[in-house]
Amino acid sequence: MRIVQIIDSLESGGAERMAVNYANALCKKIEFSGLIATRKEGQLLSQIDKQVSYLFLKKNKSIDLKAVSRLRQYLKNNKVEVIHAHSSSFFIAILVKFVLPQIKIVWHDHYGISQDLSLRKNLSLKLGSFFFSGIISVNSSLKNWALSYLSCPNAEFFPNFIGELYSTSEKMVLKGNDGKRIICLANLRPQKNHEFLIDTAYLICSKNPDWSFHLLGKDFQDSHSELLYKKVNDLKLQEHVFFYGSINNVGKALEQCDIAVLPSISEGLPLAVLEYGLYKLPVIATNVGEISKIIISEKEGFVIESNNIEQFNEVLQSLIDNEKKRIELGQNLNKVVSFNYSEEAIINDYILWLNSLPNFAK
Fold of 2-161+342-356: Rossmann fold (3.40.50)
Q: What is the pLDDT of residue 116?
A: 73
Question: Comparing 2-161+342-356 with 181-340, is the CATH topology the same?
Answer: yes
- Statement: 181-340 belongs to CATH 3.40.50.2000: yes
Between CA 354 and CA 229 the distance in angstroms is: 46
Q: Residue 211: which of 184, 177, 174 has the closest Cα?
A: 177
Q: What is the pLDDT of residue 358?
A: 87
Q: What is the pLDDT of residue 359?
A: 74
| Domain boundaries along the sequence of the chain | 2-161+342-356, 181-340
Q: What is the pLDDT of residue 168?
A: 61
C-alpha distances (whole Å) from 150 to each of 112, 133, 357 are: 18, 12, 17
Between CA 112 and CA 17 the distance in angstroms is: 14
Q: Do residues 120 and 141 make contact, with C-beta atoms less than 8 angstroms apart?
A: no
Q: What is the pLDDT of residue 167?
A: 59
Q: What is the pLDDT of residue 114?
A: 67
Residue 316, strand partner residues = none
pLDDT by position in tens, the chain (length 362): 999 999 999 998 889 999 999 999 999 999 999 999 999 999 899 999 999 999 999 999 989 999 999 999 999 999 999 999 999 999 999 999 999 999 999 999 999 776 678 788 899 999 999 999 999 999 888 999 999 999 999 999 999 998 766 656 567 899 999 999 999 999 999 999 999 999 999 999 999 999 999 999 999 999 999 999 999 999 999 999 999 999 888 999 999 999 999 999 998 889 999 999 999 999 999 999 889 999 999 999 999 999 999 999 999 999 999 999 999 999 999 999 999 998 988 999 999 999 999 877 54
Q: What is the pLDDT of residue 222?
A: 96
Model pTM greater than 0.75?
yes
Q: Residue 6: which of 124, 113, 117, 95 has the closest Cα?
A: 95
**Total residue length of the chain:** 362
Q: What is the pLDDT of residue 228?
A: 98
How many C-beta atoms lie closer than 10 Å to residue 357's C-beta? 16
